[in-house]
Amino acid sequence: MAKRTVIFKNKPTIIGSYSIVGPKEGKGNFASYFDFIMKDDCFGQDTYEKAEKKMIESAVAGAIKNANIQASDISLLLSGDLLNQIISSSYAARNFDMGFLGLFGACSTMAEGLAVGSSLIDGGHFDNVVCATGSHFCTAERQFRFPLELGNQRPPTSQWTVTGAGACVLSRKGNGPKVTMATFGKVVDYEVNDVNDMGAAMAPSAMDTMLTHFRETGRTPDDYDLIVTGDLGKLGSEILIDLMEMNGIKLGLNYNDCGQMYFTRNQNTLSGGSGCGCSATILNSYIISKLRKGELQRVLFMPTGALMSTTASQQGETIPGVCHAIVIESDVKPQGGGVQSKSINKSTTASKGRSKKES
Amino acid sequence: MAKRTVIFKNKPTIIGSYSIVGPKEGKGNFASYFDFIMKDDCFGQDTYEKAEKKMIESAVAGAIKNANIQASDISLLLSGDLLNQIISSSYAARNFDMGFLGLFGACSTMAEGLAVGSSLIDGGHFDNVVCATGSHFCTAERQFRFPLELGNQRPPTSQWTVTGAGACVLSRKGNGPKVTMATFGKVVDYEVNDVNDMGAAMAPSAMDTMLTHFRETGRTPDDYDLIVTGDLGKLGSEILIDLMEMNGIKLGLNYNDCGQMYFTRNQNTLSGGSGCGCSATILNSYIISKLRKGELQRVLFMPTGALMSTTASQQGETIPGVCHAIVIESDVKPQGGGVQSKSINKSTTASKGRSKKES
């Protein structure tokens, strides 16, 4: 079999990142890490779709500002989202005088952008690119399930699409966490057909990518101080743990899932968070901040996407999944030595971040 | 400004290609070049969407077969299409045991795939990848405009979405046309809002990419024996010629547009062909065949995409465009010497190709 894992010799550097979230997300477990918390879900726009677009614009502009470079030094924006024809990304791209690569990997988009962007930097094709994605609870619900006005009941397996966007600038030079590997995922379909059970639909693709990554790199879960899937949620991440165990690999306390971690228990999101913005906002706030400080040394970041569509579902199709894996390593030596944080849930709300509330 | 043009040192090679089209397309100007002409638009499926998916599957499998390599030697499939959540591509990807990068660049997708795929080959990340895309008249009409059953009248500016799919295998080694450069396009919006006038919406992005390509490479139109845009159609290509002239660049007889060339005069497609399949099937039949024989030496292939969406249009948005440019060069010396075919329309139907009718 042709390999699907790439090892980056020139180690593309994340020189800046930015995260913006909605008010509910701003009360979740990562509240103190986000750059910006919106006052309401409309973000001053007259539709939710326009709010989603504006969030992606803000994330891209924020990441460029935090990277401390000029937009004119960036060759490409790589972005995608959940909306039909990825309108949030492509309409946001109008505002940036740079090339645009539109991606669709559903909720795996942050990793797809990082995989392609890092390859372009590593190959010497470009000096700087920016990767972005985002999602919005209200646009996703009405496009994929029911209009919010219907007030329909949500089953226990359902997840809450995160209202948020994240972006980061990848560069050939500079200081910051390094992208050292990428395992490109394949489309896997275990014939789940419940649009309210995304975790089950995506877990097999996460398993496939994780097994491929370990096989092709010779690594094991112990080589990482954090292995984090995108948005399998509570149920999906349990399924992944089972699937991996069936393949002889035990995921320990260094494994977690962004969807599972996102909200507090009393926020009533059932199986947890989801959406492109779920893993993107945690990566571009909490994870990158910990890598910058050396509190995390080596992270396996694995956003998962459910490639579902109302048209396909109406025609009797099942829901395939895809998952790409990105290895990000700190450029700061660990302070205590060795692996720092085997379980990250505990420290989440404790330490102070840099988030600003919209005023 | 950061450059958007990449020059490939390792010259990724197109070692195999395949094109499949619908019956109407099989009576057009390129009939003799296509690998396979479908007997009807359903292709044995019970919905048009499933037919579109099957066409992409066939194109990918056909390109791999024509490349004379095993699917297991290919690391990645890069594909996208016009349908919501690019279902034709992602559902087709289930059948191939390789990584999947989902792209969305509307009708520019063939070039987006070639730009990213060539970068991955050139950078030494993968040995073989396959790039694909496709479109279907019936799925596009009902998703973007009106159900066919309505039988509504088409305005003179409207174009006919090509029912067809094309794919090609890019490799580090082997014989065949070489991808030597790519100019990554940016999103350009001249505020056109007529969903029946895609040519006008896309022409400004083609102009931007063409100007960027000539500026960054120091080349002029005379450096190519064929400059071909994707699917501007009759009206859009006239607009592009005007826009380029306003910028001091005269496009001559070596410029043409796939949409304009696709159908015969009496096929009544008004402004011409469009859709991802339009430029993809011409590239993967006529253009590559001419490059293989040395009858074309250097082609500037520029598919254009209209990033439109019913949701965005309903919310009062205009239609932005994007266009990526790919330089493909023959590995066969010209037989007569110099530029071979300044005007390709004449020779289109004359020479015999390799097309097979579905039986």
For residue B335, is pLDDT > 90? no
A335 touching chain B per CB within 8 A? no
Q: How distant is the alpha carbon of residue A64 from its chain centre?
A: 18
Residues within 8 A of B (CB atoms), A 60-99 only: 72-76, 80, 82-87, 90-91, 93-94, 96-99
A174 touching chain B per CB within 8 A? no
Could you say which of A125, A185, A317 has the minimum Cβ distance to residue B99?
A: A185
Instruction: Give the CA angle between residues A206, A207, A213 to the nearest 5°.
Output: 90
DSSP alpha helices (H): ranges in chain A? Answer: 48-67, 87-93, 109-122, 137-144, 198-217, 233-246, 258-262, 276-282, 288-293, 310-314
Count of Cβ atoms closer than 10 Å to residue A264 Cβ: 13
What's the pLDDT score for residue B355? 54
Mean predicted confidence (pLDDT) in B57-86: 98
Q: Over the stretch A47-62, which tens digit does the pLDDT of each residue have?
A: 999 999 999 999 999 9
What's the pLDDT score for residue B334? 82
Q: Decide: residue A323, CB within 10 A, 0-12 exposed, 13-18 middle, 19+ buried.
A: buried
What's the pLDDT score for residue A346? 39
For residue B345, is pLDDT > 50? no
pLDDT tier, B286 (very low <50, low <70, confident <90, very high otherwise): very high
Q: Which residues of B touch A307 (CB under 8 A)?
A: 85, 87, 90-91, 102
User: Contact, B76 vs A5, CB < 8 A?
Assistant: no
Mean predicted confidence (pLDDT) in A163-176: 97
- Smallest CA–CA distance, residue A72 to chain B, in Å, is 5
pLDDT tier, A357 (very low <50, low <70, confident <90, very high otherwise): low
Q: Decide: residue A98, CB within 10 A, 0-12 exposed, 13-18 middle, 19+ buried.
A: buried
- Smallest CA–CA distance, residue B187 to chain A, in Å, is 5
A63-92 as b/e: b if 16+ CB within 10 A = bbebbebebeebbbbbbbbbbbbbbbbbbb
Alpha-carbon distance A345 to B313, whole Å? 43
Q: Which residues have C-beta within 8 Å of that of residue A150, sequence separation ≥ 6?
A: none
B194 touching chain A per CB within 8 A? no
Could you say which of B76, B83, B311 has the minimum Cβ distance to residue A184?
A: B76
B313 touching chain A per CB within 8 A? no
Cross-chain Cβ contact A311/B127 below 8 Å = no
Q: Which residues of B touch A110 (CB under 8 A)?
A: none
Interface-testing mutation among A42, A45, A101, A171, with chain B (most B C-beta atoms within 10 A) = A101
**Interface ipTM:** 0.94
Task: Give how far Cα A134 sits from Cα of A25, A115, A249, A257, A275, Å.
Answer: 13, 17, 32, 18, 8
What's the pLDDT score for residue A352? 42
A135-171 as b/e: b if 16+ CB within 10 A = bbbbbbbbbbbeeeeeeeebeebbbbbbbbbbbbbbb
Mean predicted confidence (pLDDT) in A93-114: 98
For residue A149, is pLDDT > 80? yes
**Could you give the percent of chain A with pLDDT greater than 70?**
93
A140 touching chain B per CB within 8 A? no
- Smallest CA–CA distance, residue B1 to chain A, in Å, is 5
* Mean pLDDT over the full length of chain B: 93
DSSP label at residue B350: T
Task: Enter the tokens of residue B172.
Answer: 């580090």
Alpha-carbon distance B53 to B136, whole Å? 10
Residue of B nearest to A188 (CA): B94
B307 touching chain A per CB within 8 A? yes
DSSP label at residue B170: E
- Size of the A and B interface in Cβ pairs below 8 Å: 197
Find the range with the poorest average confidence among B54-63, B318-327, B348-357. B348-357
Q: Which residues of A touch B96 (CB under 8 A)?
A: 186
Cross-chain Cβ contact B322/A105 below 8 Å = no
Cross-chain Cβ contact A72/B308 below 8 Å = no
- Smallest CA–CA distance, residue A27 to chain B, in Å, is 30
Mean predicted confidence (pLDDT) in A266-290: 97
Q: Which residues have C-beta within 8 Å of that of residue B181, sequence separation ≥ 6?
A: B5, B6, B7, B8, B213, B217, B325, B326, B327
A208 touching chain B per CB within 8 A? no
Cross-chain Cβ contact A1/B105 below 8 Å = no
Nearest Cα neighbor of A134 from A22, A254, A2 is: A22
B234 touching chain A per CB within 8 A? no
What's the pLDDT score for residue A347? 40
DSSP label at residue A39: S
User: Contact, A117 vs A76, CB < 8 A?
Assistant: yes
- Smallest CA–CA distance, residue B353 to chain A, in Å, is 33
Cross-chain Cβ contact B3/A312 below 8 Å = no
Residue of B nearest to A86 (CA): B104
